[in-house]
A = this chain, B = another copy of it.
Amino acid sequence: MKNTFGNSFCVTLFGESHGQAIGAVLDGLKPGEEIDLQKISALLKMRKGAAAFSTKRNEKDEFKIVSGFFEGKTTGTPLCILIENNDTKSADYSEMKSVARPSHADYTAFLKYHGYNDYRGGGHFSGRITAALTAAGAIALQILERRGVKIGTHILSCDDVSDRHFENCEKDFEKLFSLSFPVLDDAARERIEEKITAARKDGDSVGGVLETVVTGFPASVGEPWFDTVEGVLSHILFSVPAVKGVSFGAGFDFGKMTGSEANDPFIIRDGKVITQTNRNGGINGGITNSMPIVINCAVKPTPSIYKTQKTIDFEKNEQTELLIKGRHDPAIIHKASVVVTAAAAIALLDLLSGRFGTDLNGI
């Protein structure tokens, strides 16, 4: 289905970095849901990230909803969000049109689209498109939140610096919204910021690992095969640019565990079934068990660095060197953290809508 995600609640993305506009169409929204436009703006602002580590591209990210929204509420018909591109300096890109930036999509896009893609600023592959994805996610988030589902993402590690895990999710999620940089522990935040500053000075970039937690998500959602909660979430999370790994619960640490360490005993607390530990990250057999869903995403370093790199000119089919000019970031993991939250919200709302119907009956 290419640029459309979802079976019951669907999001279609469109747009290029230097085109007229980017946007998203959201279909299958429950009618009558209030949407707070300020919350969309707030998430878009978070996505743009702390000034210190973000590019100079000065987009206001002003969005307009052109359909599916009436008198402050969703109508239930497709909701289209548009974000116009204003600050597009095409001149920056034209000369290196056919020089592949390593670890970017320039070369694969050339092959796939036979050279007809809009190459300016990465075109449809640009991180800019995540503004539309984020706006879509911001709407899904509000609908989830109204049903007690909350999502938060922080930088769990960057290089050798680790943040603490979520402790009090409610408070920690709120804290993340107030922070200019999504690290829970103050000391860790400072050290990660130093890492990024150092990378920037060196003309280099850094990666990291994100931790996302979803609380309040109903049990019994997901399928045993194929449309497992893990499968559906990972499907969309790998669309967040630079994400190259997705795991749930203990994830890759399971590789060093024994069954007796890894299993989560079921217990009854306050009349409710929970698990004593949550190494399975809220999912058993592809289906939610009411415990928090715990996701880790590996984020690779920004491919754009200020260093001369060996590469090819794919039109001339010859070896060349490249020193990328223009705006780029020493880290995108803080931006990715917002997009991961948004993307997760989209997938989770789709799963809920499939399970409980368009009207989300009973939740």
Contacts and interface: CB of A to CB of B under 8 A. Distances in A.
Contacts of A251: 244-245, 298
Given A67-B19, A77-B224, A100-B266, A31 B205 contact: no
A246 interface: yes
A246 B249 contact: no
B257 A207 contact: yes
Contacts of A172: none
B265 A77 contact: no
Interface string A115-135: 111100001110001000100
A163 to B, nearest CB: 12
Q: Which of A2, A22, A75, A289 has the most CB of B within 10 A?
A: A2
Interface stretch (A48-56, A146-154, A181-189, A314-322): A314-322
A188 to B, nearest CB: 14
B287 A111 contact: yes
Given A107-B273, A251-B244, A116 B32 contact: yes
Contact of A12 (B27, B230, B241, B253): B27
Contact of A266 (B258, B260, B310): B310
Interface stretch (A38-46, A137-145, A352-360): A352-360
A191 interface: no
Interface residues of A, number: 156
A103 B114 CA distance: 41
A244 B234 contact: no
B1 A114 contact: no
Copies per complex of this chain: 4
Contact of A77 (B3, B74, B199, B259): B3
A216 interface: no
Nearest to A133: B225
Nearest to A210: B255
Given A75-B16, A109-B285, A357-B357, A160 B31 contact: no
A185 B310 CA distance: 34
A176 interface: no
A224 B67 contact: no
Given A16-B67, A76-B113, A238-B231, A244 B2 contact: no
A237 B225 CA distance: 10
Interface string A213-226: 00000011111111
7 contacts: A12-B12, A32-B116, A103-B259, A105-B285, A108-B287, A231-B238, A252-B298
Instruction: Pick the 8 closest A-B CB pairs, nearest first.
Output: A105-B285, A245-B247, A357-B357, A205-B259, A108-B287, A230-B238, A77-B124, A14-B78
